[in-house]
A and B are shown apart, each in its own frame.
Chain A
């Protein structure tokens, strides 16, 4: 099962038949495993990795450090939930170290990000501070490198 998940993480477009061939299992068994993983929220979705820089779409991504005061009973979870419910929020992680949550969000402009931070994020009860960092360039994301591969020259090679 872990092997299948790792393959899907690498390329979500592998078909059950291909996965079955690679893993030495039957297609039926793979389909069952996938269904079980989806059912149990192990397999949450299948996404593409896109280099938006190469399109004419305007986008700004920010990484926001958030400090929060944990609440009795709910700890950090309740505040994290109030943040991740916003559609524009891509990722939320609980961190060890100098701050508590990492929030990553993408908007169309710097202004929209600022608005999100001062109008939505900062006022949440329990949020005690934020620090916003803008992502200037993506080099690698989810194991994909954002630059063209340089091909080696043609080789007359006989081995």
Chain B
């Protein structure tokens, strides 16, 4: 009998499975359930993008691409970043096409972090940063963002978390799960803390296009920040392309060169069909982004109003497709609230503490769901809350 437990890597065993998991397990065998749980657009990828993928298959483009991705795709991404965010990255030296934004995050962390290095991670945030840092041998240092600051990262909180061992700051805005954004002034304040240090920034801007107030500002566009920023972005959220697994990472050429080694050994190259579809998306998809963003915005306003009616207070989330209301008025913990909601009314939302302990007292709701479903979800939520 093999003693697998002693064989398994201690590092791997030490990381906890995603806290979201239990709530998705509860969803099983509940055909009538409405899920505001999964953070994924409800749109199907626009047809012209799917068609480009199909066409590439008809032409027989089924081989590997170059490790960094199709040059034409990198050129188009470079053009896009300049057009939309005023950033310039050399398609040949400063960019890798990755398997989703997730791989890009992994590459960034692994290229920089040595054992003993500290990585500052604002929470609540997407669940992957801490485990990836741990696997790289680094130490995650969590900084709690607060509801009274609309879950933005403040200069003071960042400064307090910096030590001589700090190597990297993860900047996950617009934010999953809170829907928080960082406005220009907030980004400038963070930049001011970093100036003169040698701390790098991993800016996860996968939701950059889904910013409903002012246009998203990338930290890479702030003076002195370009040279210390690794920019992560991708196609999943903005073009409704989650299943294609298409992301990219941009940054200083020296760092990208090292990241490319990891990518070439672990991945080889991102999926070819997806890359052809992505060329079409980034070249001709601005209109699709606008259309979907408009639609999310309607639902965002709707959901914020419905939450207020239910007495669940929520700051005005202006990014991504999440709201993060407080459920403290119900007297329940986040998990109790979510469990009752799913067991009694078949509505799935995610407890805030799945995204970091300071998310306790909040829940994440994804509004990338049709208005019809949102309406029904709120009807059921009201019944649940009234019965408390």
Pairing of A with B: yes
Q: Which residues of A contact B (CB under 8 A)?
A: 7, 11, 14, 18, 21-24, 154, 156-159
Q: Which residues of B contact A (CB under 8 A)?
A: 17-18, 20-21, 24, 28, 38-40, 127, 298-299, 301-302, 305-306, 371, 375
Contact in complex: B301, A23 (CB < 8 Å): yes
CB distance from A149 to the nearest CB of B (A): 10
Q: Jot down 12 A-B pairs with beta carbons below 8 A, ordered by A.
A: A11-B371, A18-B302, A21-B302, A21-B306, A22-B299, A22-B302, A154-B28, A156-B24, A158-B17, A158-B18, A158-B20, A158-B24
Q: Which residues of B contact A23 (CB under 8 A)?
A: 298, 301
Contact in complex: B20, A159 (CB < 8 Å): yes
Give Cα distance in the complex from A159 to B18, angstroms: 8
CB distance from A107 to the nearest CB of B (A): 34
Q: Which residues of B contact A14 (CB under 8 A)?
A: 371
Q: Which residues of A contact B40 (CB under 8 A)?
A: 159
Contact of A18 among B18, B38, B371 (CB under 8 A): B371
Known: A18-B371, A18-B375, A158-B20. A7 touches B39 (CB 8 A): no
Q: Which residues of A contact B20 (CB under 8 A)?
A: 158-159
Contact in complex: B38, A159 (CB < 8 Å): yes
Contact in complex: A159, B39 (CB < 8 Å): yes
CB distance from A156 to the nearest CB of B (A): 7
Known: A18-B371, A18-B375, A21-B306. A157 touches B301 (CB 8 A): no
Give Cα distance in the complex from A5 to B299, angstroms: 16
Contact of A22 among B18, B21, B39, B298 (CB under 8 A): B298
Give Cα distance in the complex from A20 to B17, angstroms: 41
Closest B residue to A20 by beta carbon equals B305
Give Cα distance in the complex from A129 to B311, angstroms: 66
Closest B residue to A15 by beta carbon equals B375
Q: Which residues of A contact B299 (CB under 8 A)?
A: 22
Most A CB contacts (10 A, CB to CB) among B17, B24, B28, B127 go to: B24
Give Cα distance in the complex from A154 to B28, angstroms: 9
Closest B residue to A11 by beta carbon equals B371
Q: Which residues of A contact B18 (CB under 8 A)?
A: 158-159
Closest B residue to A7 by beta carbon equals B298
Q: Which residues of B contact A22 (CB under 8 A)?
A: 298-299, 301-302, 371
Give Cα distance in the complex from A23 to B21, angstroms: 35
Q: Which residues of B contact A158 (CB under 8 A)?
A: 17-18, 20-21, 24
Q: Which residues of A contact B298 (CB under 8 A)?
A: 7, 22-23
Q: Which residues of B contact A7 (CB under 8 A)?
A: 298
Give Cα distance in the complex from A24 to B299, angstroms: 10
Give Cα distance in the complex from A21 to B299, angstroms: 8
Give Cα distance in the complex from A18 to B28, angstroms: 31
Besides A22-B371, A159-B18, 20 other A-B contacts (C-beta < 8 A) = A7-B298, A14-B371, A18-B371, A18-B375, A21-B301, A21-B305, A21-B306, A22-B301, A22-B302, A23-B298, A154-B28, A156-B24, A157-B24, A157-B38, A158-B18, A158-B24, A159-B38, A159-B39, A159-B40, A159-B127
